[in-house]
Structure 1
Amino acid sequence: MSHLTALVIHHGLLGIFLLMALESCCIPIPSEVVMPLAGFLASRHLIGFWPAVIVATVANLVGSLIAYAIGSYAGRAFVLRYGRYVGLSARHLDRAERWFGRFGEATVFFGRMIPAVRTFVSLPAGFARMSLARFIVFSLFGSLVWNLALVYGGYQLNRNWQILADHVKPFTYVGAAILVAAVAWFWLRRRSRQDAE
């Protein structure tokens, strides 16, 4: 964590942009540490409150668009080539595409506020080729809500911004449990269909 905090402290908005773009591009960087620190810096008048929120939200969109493009243009090939090593197949990809075709907007919006999910939610949206316009809108609003809440919390906690990170951390485990449950559901459905055949 010290490298993350040092990057934000020494480079301000540029450091926030870099870290938040990477987080949305499938690099597990904890925004629940970065953004409360940004709020703390804003409370000390070292950076602006709204500039921190806006820069982080734009960075999330940039990283999300990169991950979306990977999912959209390289996703199927990636799954077909490497998916067998983690139990994934073309059938799983087809199901994900149908699922996002039906619930994509809600998944992208609320997924931005679940720590373990927000980092990877753009990939299945790309797999499903969700409407780019809707993807952008729901990514922006979901990221804005998340970033505003964390910056505001860090701003209010001032020097105690790390307390917020410690209290938000359990939600990372909830998000991870959701991902594990989804993978287990896909696997069980696959097995039941194979047994039926």
Structure 2
Amino acid sequence: MEQLILGLIDYFKQFSYWGVILALSVEIIPAELVLPLVGYWVYQGDMIFWLALAAGSIGGVTGPLTLYALGRYGGRPLIKKYGKYLFISEKSLNSAERFFEKYGAGVAFFARFIPGIRTVISIPCGMAKMNVWKFMIYTYLAMFPITFFYVYIGFHFGAEWEHALPFLKQYLQPLMILCILCLAAYILFKYYRNKTIKK
């Protein structure tokens, strides 16, 4: 399966930076594979780092935007019927929906750093008809540092870019913990603010 996905990514390369955006717009293609490979293309001199970063960040928004649109215009019935083709289970959708209902629009940013939630969170954002511009801005702000990190690591490893994924897994866990702590701080802030308003 991984080789098939890599073949698809390589096919998109012929479209240069647009190809990076297109590859990331297909939600079944993991960014964890696309972006380190893009970093390798930068290493080869086929792409310019900052343009690759811009394309990766934009693609990091267009992908979630498709799921947002599915949630907004198709709702739960459509997701239940066709979600399996996007590897979205009803269980993960339920978790993301509860997460959104509990913590509000800010999860469009923070949830991007939480495994198991980051992809699916776009759907409840759409179902709740969250402002699309706010959704795009929050998603972009989350995806920019992630894209930078992945592309830079792919560039750093160069011809051995395949080793980037194990390296990323090693260092992403502390980053995830930091983001979860930020999320907890956001939740506490929102809780106490609401409590103050009710008084």
Equivalent position SS for 1:112: helix
Deviation per CA, 1:70-111: give whole Å up to 9, x if none: 11121144478899x95799x989856632xx4321x21122
Compute the displacement of 1:160 (Å): 2.0
Equivalent position SS for 2:129: coil
Distance 1:140 1:92, change over 3 A: closer
Distance 1:63 1:10, change over 3 A: closer
Report the TM-score, using the length of structure 1 for normalisation.
0.67
Query: In 2, Cα distance between the equivalents of 1:7 and 1:120?
Result: 22
Query: In 2, Cα distance between the equivalents of 1:46 and 1:88?
Result: 38
Match of 1:21 among 15, 22, 25: 25
Say whether the 8 Å CA contact 2:70–2:79 is kept in structure 1. no
Aligned residue in 2 for 1:165: 165
Aligned residue in 2 for 1:118: 118
Say whether the 8 Å CA contact 2:24–2:62 is kept in structure 1. no
Considering only aligned residues, what root-mean-square deviation do their CA atoms show, in Å? 3.5
5 Å-filtered alignment, 1:154-193, equals 154-169=154-169
Query: In 2, Cα distance between the equivalents of 1:139 and 1:37?
Result: 22
Query: In 1, Cα distance between the equivalents of 2:91 and 2:11?
Result: 43
Aligned residue in 1 for 2:3: 2
5 Å-filtered alignment, 1:137-148, equals 137-148=137-148
- State the aligned residue count: 165
5 Å-filtered alignment, 1:17-166, equals 17-23=21-27, 27=28, 29-78=29-78, 86=90, 95=98, 98-99=101-102, 102-105=103-106, 107-166=107-166
Distance 1:126 1:46, change over 3 A: same
Q: Which runs of 5+ in 2 are unaligned?
A: 84-88, 177-199
Percent of residue pairs bearing the same amino acid type: 27
Q: What amino acid is the match of 1:160?
A: E
Say whether the 8 Å CA contact 1:36–1:161 is kept in structure 2. yes
Distance 1:127 1:97, change over 3 A: farther
Say whether the 8 Å CA contact 1:112–1:142 is kept in structure 2. yes
Query: In 1, Cα distance between the equivalents of 2:56 and 2:160?
Result: 21
Distance 1:14 1:82, change over 3 A: closer
Distance 1:70 1:160, change over 3 A: same
Aligned residue in 2 for 1:188: none
Say whether the 8 Å CA contact 1:32–1:169 is kept in structure 2. no
Relative to structure 2, which stretch is displaced further, 148-157 or 159-168?
Answer: 159-168
